Structure 1
């Protein structure tokens, strides 16, 4: 037993070491890029350091949606289902949260009002995610395409809402937005960091992470998700129902995405705005991949990318380095992660061809 535990610990340390190595490689490449471009080479490193030390509130603000988006991606990737529609699902969650929040009586209990708002957001996100899930299960539609295209529909729907049924007549002609939400539906800020936008959505993200970790590592359903993802044929012959599992993980993913939308409108914007989402869903893909699709790892990779984004914003404000550099770093990390997955497959393919040619001789 001790040997098994030691092997597990060593394996976990090895995985963490590889992920840290990917980050270091990405930062080195970003540093080289900045130097070649004529900017301060260590600007992005300094930005991350300051985000983790001097401006923790800003890091928490950006880490919260990134952690939740990463968890939403993580759920489906475990089952080898590729949900690229987190952005659309969080838009629908935000729209549902706003529709409920603006109609809740101001006298309602704060906690009860927030529960209703978040349940509405989760339901909307889950239902929107079920559209591509049902298409995949019953029509064999590629979920990558369907989820991606549904993002545009959700974004346009939110734009329709804030220019039509939910538009605030007092917002002015230059702002497409809903009315300000009733204060009893505002998600509280973390008092230690006020007046920043760091909010208790961060604690919600941690709770969601703990729930997913328990499901994945301590329940039969978590084991079923892994089996369906690794070998759906074996899962079917073992008495499992791959189609049902796909529907379940997509609903879970959509519900978590809905939480992202609810946090943004109740804690940060306090209203629904057109185009409020800066691609949290796509950033969540990198967050999840960097964490090796492990919910516990998603917490730490989300904090890293939160510091990266916050550092980029601060960096642009106090230096001449544009915040777009953070997108370049994210892209570099994505490329290095992709290389980690692609290279072993290329090696196996090359080895197979070599064996085939040797067998022919």
Structure 2
């Protein structure tokens, strides 16, 4: 029993070591790139350290949506379903949250108001995610394509709302936005960091992480998700329903994405803005992959990328290094992670193609 437990600990430590190694490689490559481009080589490293030590509030602000996006991706990856539509689903969640919030009575209880707004956002995100899920299950449509294309529909729909039905007539001609939400629907800031943009959404992300960890590792449904992801044929013979599981994980993913939209409009913007989402969904893919699709790892991975994004913003403000460098670091990490998956497959293919010599010839 002790040996098994020790093996699990060593295995977990090995995974963590590999992920840390990927980050170090990415940072070294980014440093080389900065030096070759004529910028301060350690600017990005200093930016991350500042985000983790000085401007912690800014890191939490950016880590919140990134952790939730990583969890939304993690849910579907466990079942080998690829949801590239988190951005679209969070847009729909934000739209639903705004539409409900602006119509709630101003004197409604704060907690009740927030609960209604977040439930509306989760329902909208889940329903929007069900479109590609149903297409995959019943029409055998590639979910990568359908989820990706639906992002554009959602973004255009939000733009239509803030220039039409939900537009605030007092916003002026230069701003396409909804009316400011009532304060009873504002998500509170984290008091320790006030005044700042760090908000209670970070606690919500931690709660979602704990729930998913319990589901994946302590429930039969979590075991079913893994079986469906690894071998759907075996799952079907074992009495499981792969199609139902796909619908369930997509709905869960969409609901988590909807939470991101609700957090952005209730805690950060306090209104719905066109194009408010800086690609949280695609960053969530890297967050989830770096964490090896483990919910607990997603929390730490999301905090790292939150520090990276926040560091890039601070770096641009105090130095001549553009914040776009953070996108380069993210891309480098994505490439190194991809190499981790691709290289073993290439080795296996090379081994399969190597002719077997017989009789010493």
Q: Distance in 2 between matches of 1:22 and 1:214?
A: 27
The aligned counterpart of 1:318 is 318
Which runs of 5 or more structure 1 residues have no equivalent in the other structure? none
Question: Structure 1 residues 258 and 359, CA, compared in 2 at 3 Å: closer, same or farther?
Answer: farther
TM-score, reference length from structure 1: 0.99
TM-score, reference length from structure 2: 0.99
Q: Distance in 2 between matches of 1:293 and 1:199?
A: 25
Map Cα deviations across residues 286-314 of structure 1 (whole Å, 9 max, x no partner): 00000000000000000000000000000
The aligned counterpart of 1:265 is 265
Which runs of 5 or more structure 2 residues have no equivalent in the other structure? none
Task: Work out the number of aligned pairs and report it.
Answer: 360
Q: Distance in 2 between matches of 1:301 and 1:147?
A: 24
Shift of 1:358: 4.3
- TM superposition outliers: structure 1 runs of 4+ over 3 Å: 357-361
Shift of 1:151: 0.1
Question: Structure 1 residues 172 and 342, CA, compared in 2 at 3 Å: closer, same or farther?
Answer: same
Q: Distance in 1 between matches of 2:358 and 2:27?
A: 44
Shift of 1:209: 0.1
Shift of 1:179: 0.1
The aligned counterpart of 2:39 is 39
Q: Distance in 2 between matches of 1:86 and 1:53?
A: 30
Map Cα deviations across residues 31-58 of structure 1 (whole Å, 9 max, x no partner): 0000000000000000000000000000
Shift of 1:326: 0.1
Shift of 1:195: 1.1
The aligned counterpart of 1:62 is 62
The aligned counterpart of 2:197 is 197
Q: How does 1:270-289 map to 2 (within 5 A)?
A: 270-289=270-289
Tell me if 1:118 matches 2:113.
no
Shift of 1:352: 1.0
* Aligned-CA RMSD value: 1.0
Shift of 1:359: 7.4
Tell me if 1:21 matches 2:25.
no
Q: Distance in 2 between matches of 1:307 and 1:172?
A: 34
The aligned counterpart of 2:290 is 290
Q: Distance in 2 between matches of 1:64 and 1:358?
A: 57
Question: Structure 1 residues 220 and 359, CA, compared in 2 at 3 Å: closer, same or farther?
Answer: farther
Q: Distance in 1 between matches of 2:42 and 2:358?
A: 53
Shift of 1:354: 1.3
